[in-house]
Each structure stands twice: as C-alpha cells, then as structure tokens.
Amino acid sequence: MAGRMKMKILLTWVLSTLISISTFSQTQTHEHEEQKHTEIQENPVNNGEFKKGGEIEEESGLVYIATDKLKAAGIIVKPLILQNLDNELYAPAEVKLNAYLSSKIMSRISAQVVSREVKLGDFVEKGQALITLSSVTMAQAVGEFLLANEEWIRVQKLGKSTVSLKRYNQAKIAYISMRSKIMAYGMNDLQIEALSESHKSKMLGKFQLLALKEGVVASDNFIEGELIEPSRVLFDIINENILWIEAQLSPKQAQLVKIGADVRIQLLNNSWLQGKVIQKHHLLNERTRTIGVRIQVDNKQDKLHSGMYVNVQIKMQQAEAYLALPTESVLRSPDGDWAVFVEQDEAGKFKSVEVEVLKTIGDYTAIKGLKVGTRVVVKGAFFVQSELAKSGFSVHNH
C-alpha cells in the first residue's frame, strides 16, 4: 500500500516537471520572436528600401548615383518635350553618270584609224579633235560635194537671169544634199568650209571626230591602223562634276517624295554630301517592284564615281512632332528591348524603363511609352547602365 502511494507521488512530480519545462520553452521562443521583430523595426534591412552610395535596389532596374559621380560623368537630365523632326526617308542608292553631260564618240561609216589625238584620262573641250580617220566612203562623198559646191558657186555668180530656174534649183539641191551627206558621215561646218577653201585632194577621205561635250576620256578602245566598223564606240567622254544618284523606292515611299526635296548622301567614310531630287520615274521596275528616284549632286571634289553604292536620306515635305531625345540616350537592355533611364523622386535615382522606338532621324530618336515632361537621362546613359550592370541585376522593367 505504501509502495503504491510512492509511485503515484513520483508520477505526479514527473508530470509537473514536464509541464513546467514546456511552458518555459514556449515563453522563451515568444520572447525571442518579439525581440527579433523589434530589431527589424528598429534596424530594417534593405528589403525594398533604397540604399544610397551607388548601390542597387532589389527592385529591378533601379540605381542610385551620388552627386559627385553625376557631375564627374557629365550626366544630364532633361524633361521630355515634343520636337519637330524633319521627316526623312532612308534608302540605298547607286551613283551613276549624268547622261546629259556624257557622250559616246563613234564613226557612222567604215574607216581606218590614222592617228589618236587624245588618250585615256585626258580632259577635252567641246569641239576638240579626238581621232583622225580615213575612209573611201568619205572620199567619194567629199568628191561629190566639191563638184556640187563648184556648180552652186558658178550658178550663183551667173544669177537667175542668166541660167534657167531648173538648173539653178538643181545646183542648189545638189549642194545641200551633198553637204548634209558628209555632215552625216562625221564632218562639221568648220571642216566643210576648210574643204571648200583648200581644194586639196589629199584632204579627201580624211576626217576627224570631235568632242561633243567637255569632259574626261573614260575609254578609248582602239589602236592606230585598225579598221573601224560603223556604230563602234571609240571614246566615252564623261563629266563627273555633276553626278546622278539613283534610289529605288517602293511606290508608297515614292509618292511621298517631292521634286526639289533636299537629300543627304552618306559616303563610305561616313562623310556627307548635299543633293536634290530632280526626277522621279513613272514606270515601275517589274523585277524589283520599285520606282527610281533620281538625285543630283555636286561632285567637284571628286568624292563620288559611277558605280559606287551610297545611302541617302531624303527629306520629306512636312515635319512631325515627336517625343524625342538624343539617340545615344536610348540603349538596348540585356533582353533586347529599348530602354531609357527615368529620374525618380530624388536626384541621382534612376530607373530603366522600356520604350518603343518609332524612328531615328539624324541624331535624335523618336520614342513612345512616356509622358511629356518625364525627366530622362539625355547624356551619360551608358554610364548609368554600366553602374546598374556592375551589380549584376537585370536592366529592364516589366
């Protein structure tokens, strides 16, 4: 009986001890959590809070740059405004010879080359002798002309009162006909007058082809003594002081281009020349489905040559207003989107914000996605992006 009583007392004591230990443990845990909560409130970590000194927020795309760094990097922030940008059309184009200033020299009859009067690369004046030819056909025609010329001179001296009207008219017609014939063969008025005055038989059959326009000899594909057939090109005379540039545009684009529009021509070394639209083709190229636009450019500095490829910027008739900022301020984010840096609620605090690029005109890029007056980085955006990238955070905002 006494043993049972001792056992009950022991069990009661063990149970009381376990309950006391459990209560103490729960009290300690609760006090520890309250203390931790108090510490968090008194000393918050950077869980969404902004930390200055060039550090990055955990929120994507936010960066703070200290004032001294802003000045040192030359960062400039300005509000976005609507700007009138010239509407420009960009297109590839090819440089071509000005056909109105170029000429091809050829013989209209079979002839033999007697002598070359100019060579490749020479500059020639209009009317300058280029080549001397000899031709049996020309000799026969010149002989007939000289006879017709003598008869016409004789009839004129006698007068209409002495000779019959029929003979007078026949002599006149024969002279005009033979003169026209040798002119068609390649002689000009001065050469014909020289024939009429000289009456030298050695002149028969020899004649010279003259330059039709001033320019440079671009080709002279023949040799002395060679027999030349009709219509063979002997010389190409070109003038590159004023050249044409042909741009191929879609029909829709071509409709927007006006005759007289200003054009900028970009060369391979990234320098620029000024030109003007002078003509638009009316026929559609069936192969490329494009319409040609002809641009005229002053090339006295000899920077362009026929066959070169260039890029052109054709100014449209009317400018449009866009939200625009310097092109250097619109950067690609790591995921490939266009973005700008927008100033937040305090100086030096920026956020990368995605925008839609509408077009780039000259040194400015028109964008969509922000409001007028939004303060954005217009100079030094690359530095801001570099500071953001140093922390390894993604530079984009969704």
Cβ atoms of 71 and 350 closer than 8 Å: no
* pLDDT at residue 3, rounded to an integer: 54
Lowest mean pLDDT: which of 57-61, 149-153, 163-167?
57-61
Cβ atoms of 331 and 382 closer than 8 Å: yes
* pLDDT at residue 19, rounded to an integer: 53
Q: What is the pLDDT of residues 359-380, one digit of tens each?
A: 887 788 999 999 999 999 999 9
* pLDDT at residue 53, rounded to an integer: 44
Averaged pLDDT, 105-128: 94
Region of residue 207 (left: phi > 0; alpha: psi -120 to 50; beta: else)? beta
* pLDDT at residue 30, rounded to an integer: 46
pLDDT above 50 for 81: yes
* pLDDT at residue 162, rounded to an integer: 86
Averaged pLDDT, 234-260: 92
Q: Within a 10 A sphere around the Cβ of 109, how many other Cβ atoms?
A: 18
Averaged pLDDT, 198-211: 74
How far is C-alpha 224 from the geometric centre of its chain's CA atoms?
A: 45
Quick one: tokens of 27?
A: 């009290």
pTM of the predicted model, to two decimals? Answer: 0.58
Q: What is the pLDDT of residues 312-354, one digit of tens each?
A: 999 876 667 889 999 999 999 888 899 999 999 888 899 999 9
* pLDDT at residue 170, rounded to an integer: 94
Q: DSSP string of 261-328?
A: -EEEEE-TTS-EEEEEEEEE-SS--TTT--EEEEEEEE-TT----TT-EEEEEEEPSS-EEEEEEEGG
Q: Within a 10 A sphere around the Cβ of 266, how many other Cβ atoms?
A: 15
Q: Tally the residues of the chain.
A: 398
CA neighbor of 240 nearest in space, from 97, 48, 50: 97
The identity of residue 387, as a single letter, is: E
Q: Within a 10 A sphere around the Cβ of 308, how many other Cβ atoms?
A: 15
